[in-house]
Structure 1
Amino acid sequence: MTRLSLAALRAAGRSPALDRGALRTGIVHLGIGAFFRAHGAVLTEDAMLADGSAAWGISAVTGRSPRVRDQLAPQDGLFTLTERGPGARPTRLVSSIREVIAGPQDPGGVLARIADPATRVVTLTVTEKGYRIDPRTGGLDLADAGVAADLAGAAPTTPIGQLARGLQARQRADAGPLTVVSCDNLPENGALTARLLAGFADALPAAEGDALRSWTAANAAFPATMVDRMVPATTGSDLDRIEQGFGLRDEGAVVAEPFVQWVIEDRFAAARPGWEAAGARFTGDVRPWEAAKLRILNAGHSLVAYLGLLAGHATIAEGVADDRIAGAVRSLIHSEVLGTIALPEGLDGAAYGDSVLERFANPALGHTTAKVASDGSQKIGPRLLSTAAAALEAGREPRWSALAVAAWMRHVVLAGPELDDPLAGALAALPAGGPDGRTAVPALLRCDVFPPDLAADQRFSGLVAHWYGVLAAAGVDGLSGEATA
């Protein structure tokens, strides 16, 4: 086995698409994982290839684990992307990552990269829970141990702490303006990142916090984005197949569907890559795109995952092949979401919903129901509760979003202490109740996941209780007697 690297490529008479000798770092990325490698890193490389620039190499920072550094550092940041499904293109080598820094082990290196004048963009894919949001206030969770340590002056390890201390270092170095681009599935993710950073500044000593807020207001921008590409976890068999086809062993290989989309608010504080040449869409208002993705694709993904787990389906493709589950997703989209959402101009909501189900059905991705179901307490708010609230406000019955919430609740109760969720301890401590959910549903509705006014609405709580009883008594079989779209 010969491991992928620049030297191995040269020995094989091959070379990366980008001139690595000329490539300079212009982007720092926090949270390097499979999604960003299959999305932002690819589009950044394509943007540089389109205009001949060498200024947007990526310095990638790992989160809690150094695993990705151990995958990519011996490979000089190189990795392959393999697409699966209709329209898949051949495996390609991606060369836009110049270095990988293990964030917890080298916090000084992270701050130095953010403070470097050559860096003009910081991007993030740290997942919903990485932002350390207080579910009660929507602001920064100051009680989080990592946030508290960052505020106390420890070497920063949380994404918001890294940003705050990095911006302070940038201010001291007089390194110029910077744009922070969140690429996580959160509503108004740019404004959210700015708000959390402001919360960090508010918790600092007054003079220090004032200086950070003032500099940030004058020198930083936080555009909103919507990102879309399904990127399942790479398996050992994936690595073996890619090695056979590519000729070198790639421990950092990623697989993805052919579809890719990136919508970005056109609001930058400094220069940026020409991502539009790679297919990104720049707009003055990302919110309609973001709402469509969260409330149609992401909500559907969650519903398939929770119902699929109840039905014993291991993958999303298996789940959506189940007519009972597919029917529920269609009902959620067509009967509930499309009547309560303002779609972006030019997007056919019905066609988009159908395309989402087609993408879910791609068996080559192997996207597991367990993975999609994880961290549900962070996901169901933006994906499902906004639809339920909008339906109630419009005088409609939030029947199908209530089903999705009930399916999540059933998953919480069945998983118990094994629940993969940042609120697992608190949720597992709630009473499970009897088979009809008379205890579990009210208890879960009182947790921090649900806005009090929505939890108190008897139309919503009654539907959730109804569906919980159906699922607890008969599982997904209970859907057979319910009308679907």
Structure 2
Amino acid sequence: MEKIIKLNQKNLAEIAKRISCPTYNRSNIKTGIVHVGIGGFHRAHEAFYTDALLHDDSIKDWGICGVALLEFDTKIYNTLKEQNGLYTLIIKELDGTLTKRVIGSIVECLYAPENPTTVIEKMASPEVKIITLTITEGGYNYNEATRGFDFENPQIHYDLEHPESPKTIFGYLTQALKLRKERGLLGVTIQSCDNIQGNGHMAKKMLLSYVQKAEPELVAWIETNVSFPNSMVDRITPATAALDIEKLKETSGVDDAWPVVCEPFKQWVIEDDFSTDRPAWETVGAQFVEDVVPYEKMKLSLLNAGHTVLGIIGALMGYDTIDESVHNPHINAFLKKYMDIEVTPTLGQLEGVDLESYKQSLLQRFGNINIKDQIDRICSESSAKFPIFVLPTVTTNLKEKGSIDFASLVIAAWAIYSLGKDENGKVLIIKDAMKATLNEKSIAASKYNPEAFLEIETIFGKLKDAPTFVSTYTTAYKNILKNGIEKCVIDLNNKY
């Protein structure tokens, strides 16, 4: 067996004899992008595209400074710092082979809780042209009931009272933009890479809501000098397992404390609306368009919602991974019918998209047995995902008098999932900012009042006042308790 080499800049030349590594001189790369949220998805997506771009030796201005925003991010920050920002991307091909590549585009790392001022100064630096975000759907602090910014969040209270040492992205961005304005610097582009329809619009709306209260005199400057392009991002990136780390050591002799695994498919569609310069990501596979909305809606309603469907139903049946769930023929047929009957009619015209082919490709991607995407990861933060991925389809179909049977069954299954056990009595790992509320309402629902779960207005808005939905959901809920989720799935498949 080959000698094990620790991944870092010093050992890069040696590692390059074994796997693909950056050929550009990383010490010559300037930071043009600050990215907040240096988890797996960013490292499989934006950092991957940027690394490909930097292999053009004429490009030196688009290195990434990765910011770990939360105390929870300590481990990833320490890992990347020790590895000089380097990590291995392991692409799990459909045939089971592994394509391995060391990514070098993250040239700086900062840990916000340790030194907020350094992060604010970096965001305000003249060489930084773009601030990108992967802060999860829940990170935008959006209240579904009020359709606005959640000022009740204790961390927002904290940021308003301690502007120099913020905890949230809104506190950081506000202070950095304030410095740019005071110093007479150019504006900046704030680019969301999260799974939210109109993610640029959402970032702008939420930030301006906060700024209006925190620094009202800054609003006009932001409106004039900061752009918020929408984007659609796509690459399935499961959590890295201990086995992935060991396999990398065994097959390549590389000791990487936190590699990233992903599928071969990747997509990035970006609205071409940047305040100043931007990287030529289109030369390495990204697509710049005038309007991202149709692409976003398709992806959120089919891929992201599809993941949620497979996750919630699969979790109740005792499956651990998404591929196990989609290889159950009844769940597979259920998802296909959900996409065809309930989602497709809501999507409108999609120029240049073969929708049937796209839906078929999703089932293949979900079924990649080498990815092993954990169901507890897919179901995490469902309280932020359902309002974005599933409920818009329900709302549209209620308006258009279309089917809501499939979505209602999934929502009822989520209410039962939130009790914390699968149908075999095994405890479910539920990771959700609203876990306590979900559990409380799911217990109330189980006590002969299924509608209690729909009372969480921040998630469901006014859906509890829609009689057709409440009736369909309640029937589905009772049927799951009586017959089990698989029989309900089969019965609904047979109905259509």
For structure 1, which segment, 247-256 or 228-237, has the greater mean C-alpha deviation from structure 2 after superposition? 247-256
One-letter code aligned to 1:67: K
Distance 1:51 1:260 in 2: 24
Residue 5 (structure 2) pairs with residue 2 (structure 1) = yes
CA distance in 2, matches of 1:101, 1:454: 42
Give the alignment partner of residue 60 of structure 1, picking from 59, 66, 88.
66
Establish whether residue 356 from structure 1 lines up as the match of residue 367 from structure 2: no
User: With structure 1 as the length reference, what TM-score do the two structures score?
Assistant: 0.94
Displacement, 1:11?
5.0
Superposed CA offset, 1:194-225 (max 9, x none) = 11111111212xxx312x11211111000001
Aligned-residue offset at 1:343: 4.4
Seen in structure 2, the aligned counterparts of structure 1 residues 325 and 67 have a Cα distance that, compared at 3 Å, is same
Task: State the match for 2:90 in structure 1.
Answer: 82
Q: Against the structure 1 CA distance between its residues 11 and 355, is the aligned structure 2 distance closer, same or farther, given a 3 Å change threshold?
A: closer
Who is 1:234 aligned against? Answer: 240
Tell me how far 1:247 sits from its aligned partner: 2.6
Answer whether contact 1:183 1:227 (CA < 8 A) is retained: yes
Please tell me whether the aligned partners of residues 317 and 360 of structure 1 are also in contact (alpha carbons under 8 angstroms): yes
Q: Percent identity?
A: 31
Question: Quick one: distance in 1 between partners of 2:161 and 2:367?
Answer: 48
C-alpha distance in 1 between matches for 2:461 and 2:90: 45
Structure 1 distance, partners of 2:493, 2:441, is 32
Query: Structure 1 pair 351/12, CA: closer, same or farther in 2 (3 Å)?
Result: closer
What is the rounded CA distance, in whole Å, between the counterparts of 1:145 and 1:137 in structure 2? 17
Identify which of 460, 470, 493 aligns with 1:483: 493
The equivalent residue for 1:298 is 304
The alignment status of 1:47 with 2:53, answered yes or no, reads: yes
Q: Please report how far the alpha carbon of residue 367 of structure 1 lies from its aligned counterpart in structure 2 after TM superposition.
A: 0.5
Match of 1:120 among 129, 153, 170: 129
Alignment of 1:121-140 (within 5 A): 121-140=130-149
3-state SS, counterpart of residue 38 of structure 2:
coil
Q: 1:355-380 deviations in whole A, cap 9, x for unaligned?
A: 11110001111101111011111101
Give runs of ≥4 in structure 1 deviating > 6 Å.
Answer: none
| Structure 1 residues without counterparts, runs of 5 or longer | none
Instruction: Measure how far apart 1:433 and its partner are.
Output: 4.9
Q: 1:338 aligns with which of 338, 344, 348?
A: 344
Q: Could you tell me which of 411, 421, 432 is aligned with 2:432?
A: 421
In structure 2, C-alpha distance between the alignment counterparts of 1:434 and 1:345, rounded to whole Å? 43
Q: Cα distance 1:113–1:314, how it changes in 2: closer, same or farther (>3 A)?
A: same
Instruction: For residue 126 of structure 1, give the secondary structure of its aligned residue in structure 2.
Output: coil
Deviations 1:88-136 (A, max 9, x none): 6620111000011111112111111101000000000010112222232
Closer, same or farther: CA 13–123 of 1 in aligned 2, 3 Å: closer
- Paired with 2:42 and 2:68, the residues of 1 have a C-alpha distance of 12
User: 2:284: which partner in 1?
Assistant: 278
Matched to 2:6, the amino acid is: R
Q: For residue 209 of structure 1, what is the aligned residue in structure 2?
A: 216
CA RMSD of aligned residues (A): 1.9
1:417 to 1:320, Cα distance in 2 relative to 1, 3 A? closer
Judge conservation of contact 1:384–1:404 (CA < 8 Å) in 2: no
Tell me, yes or no, if the aligned pair for 1:18 and 1:45 is still in contact at 8 Å: no
Counterpart contact for 2:326–2:332, Cα < 8 Å:
yes
> Number of residue pairs matched?
479
After superposition, where does 1:161-310 map in structure 2 within 5 Å? 161-204=171-214, 208-210=215-217, 212-310=218-316
Aligned position for 1:387: 393
Q: Is 1:340–1:394's contact at 8 Å kept on the other side of the alignment?
A: no
For each residue in 1:235-259, what CA deviation from the matched residue of structure 2 results, as whole angstroms up to 9, or x when unmatched? 1111111123333211131010000
With normalisation by structure 2, the TM-score equals 0.92
Looking at structure 2, the residues matched to 241 and 89 of structure 1 have their Cα atoms a distance apart, in angstroms, of 10
Q: Is the 8 A contact 1:17 1:94 kept in 2?
A: no
Q: Please give the alpha-carbon distance, in whole angstroms, between the structure 2 residues aligned to 1:22 and 1:123.
A: 22
Instruction: Tell me the SS of whatever aligns to 2:26.
Output: coil
Cα distance in structure 2, aligned partners of 1:89 and 1:464? 43
Equivalent of 2:154 in 145, 148, 153? 145
Instruction: Give the drift of 1:57.
Output: 0.3
Quote the offset at 1:413 in angstroms.
Answer: 2.5
User: Does the Cα contact within 8 Å between 1:225 and 1:264 map onto a contact in 2?
Assistant: yes
Distance 1:431 1:332 in 2: 24
Out of 1, 22, 30, the position equivalent to 2:28 is 22
Q: Offset of 1:449 from its aligned partner?
A: 4.0
**Which residue in the other structure is 1:37 paired with?**
43
